[in-house]
Amino acid sequence: MKTTNIKAYGTEAADVPLKQMNINRREVTAKDIEIEILYCGVCHSDLHTARNDWGMTIYPAVPGHEIVGKVTSVGSEVTKLKVGDFAAVGCLVDSCRECESCTHHLEQYCLNGWTGTYNSKDKYLGTPTFGGYSEKVVVDEHFVLKVPSNLDLAAVAPLLCAGITTWSPLIHWKVGKGSKVAVVGLGGLGHMAIKLAKGLGADVTLFSRTPDKKKDALELGANEVIISTDSDQMTSVNGKFDLIIDTVPSTHDVNPYGSTLNINGTLVLVGYLGGLEPVLFTVPMILGRKAVAGSLIGGIAETQELLNFCGEHNIVSDIEIINMQDINEAYERMLKSDVRYRFVIDMASLKK
Q: Is 202 exposed, middle or buried (0-12, 13-18, 19+ CB in 10 A)?
A: buried
CATH T-level fold of 3-161+318-351: Quinone Oxidoreductase; Chain A, domain 1 (3.90.180)
What is the predicted pLDDT for the residue at 25?
97
Q: Global pTM?
A: 0.95
- Contact by Cβ (8 Å): 5, 26: no
Q: In terms of Cα–Cα distance, which of 32, 29, 28, 37 is closest to 9?
A: 37
Q: Is 150 exposed, middle or buried (0-12, 13-18, 19+ CB in 10 A)?
A: exposed
What is the predicted pLDDT for the residue at 105?
97
Res. 341: pLDDT tops 80: yes
Q: In terms of Cα–Cα distance, which of 287, 289, 292, 232 is closest to 257?
A: 292
Q: What are phi and psi of 152, to 5 degrees?
A: -65, 120
- The order of strands in the sheet holding 224-227 is 224-227, 203-208, 180-184, 241-246, 261-269, 291-294
- Contact by Cβ (8 Å): 61, 11: yes
- The structural domains of the chain, with segments of one domain joined by +, span 3-161+318-351, 162-294
Provide the pLDDT confidence category of residue 41 given band limits of 50, 70 and 90: very high
Provide the pLDDT confidence category of residue 1 given band limits of 50, 70 and 90: confident
Provide the pLDDT confidence category of residue 210 given band limits of 50, 70 and 90: confident
Res. 99: pLDDT tops 80: yes
Q: In terms of Cα–Cα distance, which of 122, 123, 135, 119 is closest to 61?
A: 119
Q: In terms of Cα–Cα distance, which of 343, 306, 303, 268 is closest to 91?
A: 303
- Contact by Cβ (8 Å): 241, 260: yes
Mean predicted lDDT score pLDDT of the chain = 96
Helix count (H) and strand count (E) of the chain?
Answer: 11, 17
Q: In terms of Cα–Cα distance, which of 179, 184, 141, 197 is closest to 270?
A: 184
Amino acid in position 99: C
CA angle 252-254-260, nearest 5°?
A: 150
Res. 137: pLDDT tops 80: yes
Whether the domain at 3-161+318-351 and the domain at 162-294 fall into the same CATH topology? no
What is the predicted pLDDT for the residue at 313?
97
Span 166-200, pLDDT tens digits: 999 999 999 999 999 999 999 999 999 999 999 99
Helical axes 162-172 vs 188-199, angle rounded to 10°: 40
Amino acid in position 126: G
Q: Which CATH superfamily is domain 162-294 in?
A: NAD(P)-binding Rossmann-like Domain (3.40.50.720)
Span 107-122, pLDDT tens digits: 999 999 999 999 999 9
Res. 68: pLDDT tops 80: yes
- Contact by Cβ (8 Å): 324, 46: no
CA pair distance 152, 317, nearest whole angstrom = 9
Provide the pLDDT confidence category of residue 277 given band limits of 50, 70 and 90: confident
